[in-house]
Amino acid sequence: MSPARIRGIAYHLPERVLDNVELASLSAGWTPEKILDKTGVATRRIVADGETAGDLAEAAARRLFAAEGIDPADIDHLIFCSQTPDYRLPATACVLQHRLGLPTHAGAFDMSIGCSGFVYGLGVARGLVETGQARRVLLLNADAYSTLLREDDLSVRALFGDGAAATLIETANDNPGRIGAAVYGSDGSGATKLIVPGGGAREPAGSSHLHMDGAAVMAFALKEAPAAVARLLDQTGAALDDFDLVVPHQASRLVLDSLRRRLGVPHERFVVDVESMGNTVGASIPIALSRLPVSDRPRRILIVGFGVGLSWACADITL
């Protein structure tokens, strides 16, 4: 069994920029400086009318194909990870299989998971590759959370931005890159802390807007993310100092600063990349990975996702 690796990552953001000046004009008591201080976000990208998470994912995938010289016909499986799919059915992954020109023998399915979705998706893709079910897996993380937010709710509008990332997972062969051990967790007792209650079978006429209990979500993240890291270190026999970088879900600067201190990781090894695009949900980790400075050697990286579900996961990767 040959291990799996990440061959490449590309991302795409919508054109429209929503800055703090525009946001502050929507609500009394807010200033651009206050928004930046509370969230660490200066600008975020917002989908245009009629633009979807599937559109963003398609653009990210095409960028990946061009950058890596990949023929779409060589993709064996497509995973679309999103909480804002294009349709209730069919799966957006099937629609994207056709739009991207992937072969009809390629598998395609959606995963409805948010902020920890990249780590979950990597685990599934790794399993497909390492069990011989696929040679190359295209993982697409994309969300358009702006479509779920009330215009006057700056507590969430200031945080979230829309975006997509495309990741190609394949057999490592002699390449030093690896997707290593991972740990996962979930606690559905906290589901209502970050939820869109309406639109599903449970509350079809309920609110279609995102509700977030920010204090509860932050408390959850600062409890479960360090515990998951400790589990992974115990499982691998590694220490945090063995990792070149820690790349967490880009929730907000406040959460990230608190998590870095809780873990005891120095600034230079803890990636914070939230200011120019906000919290892009499941795409935030792969976008941050793709924006890292180029290195002349492989880097061992600890990735940590946490959020809606409540759900969390972390993994040991070499990239």
Tokens of 233: 């270190």
Catalytic site residue 77? no
pLDDT at 227: 97
Q: Which residues contact 158 (CB under 8 A, 6 or more apart)?
A: 20, 23, 35, 38, 39, 41, 278
Rounded to the nearest 10 degrees, the angle between the axes of helix 53-68 and helix 92-100 is: 40
Alpha-carbon distance 16 to 14, whole Å? 6
The residues that bridge with 5 in the sheet, in sequence order, are 170
Q: Are 208 and 149 contacting, i.e. CB atoms less than 8 angstroms apart?
A: no
H/E stretch holding 170? strand 163-171
Q: Which of 12, 77, 81, 249 is catalytic?
A: 249
Q: Are 100 and 106 contacting, i.e. CB atoms less than 8 angstroms apart?
A: no
Q: Which of 115, 173, 211, 267 is catalytic?
A: 115
H/E stretch holding 129? helix 117-130
Question: pLDDT digit of tens for each residue in the chain (319 aa)?
Answer: 689 999 999 999 999 999 999 999 887 788 999 999 989 999 999 999 999 999 999 999 999 999 999 999 999 999 999 999 999 999 999 999 999 999 999 999 999 999 999 999 999 999 999 999 999 999 999 999 999 998 888 889 899 999 999 999 999 888 889 999 999 999 999 989 988 888 888 888 888 888 888 899 999 999 999 999 999 999 999 999 999 999 999 999 999 999 999 999 999 999 999 999 999 999 999 999 999 998 889 999 999 999 998 999 999 999 9
Tokens of 139: 């993982």
Place of tokens 């026999």: 237
Q: pTM higher than 0.75, yes or no?
A: yes
Structural domains of the chain, with CATH: 4-171 (3.40.47.10), 178-318 (3.40.47.10)
pLDDT at 27: 79
The DSSP code for 70 is -
* Closest alpha carbon to 318 in 307, 295, 135, 306: 295
pLDDT at 153: 84
pLDDT at 279: 96
Structure confidence by residue, pLDDT tens digits, 194-236: 888 888 888 888 888 888 888 999 999 999 999 999 999 999 9
Chain CA centroid to CA 120, Å = 10
Q: Which of 81, 141, 279, 314 is catalytic?
A: 279
Catalytic site residue 175? no
pLDDT at 198: 85
The DSSP code for 2 is P
Angle at 137 between CA 134 and CA 141, to 5 degrees: 150
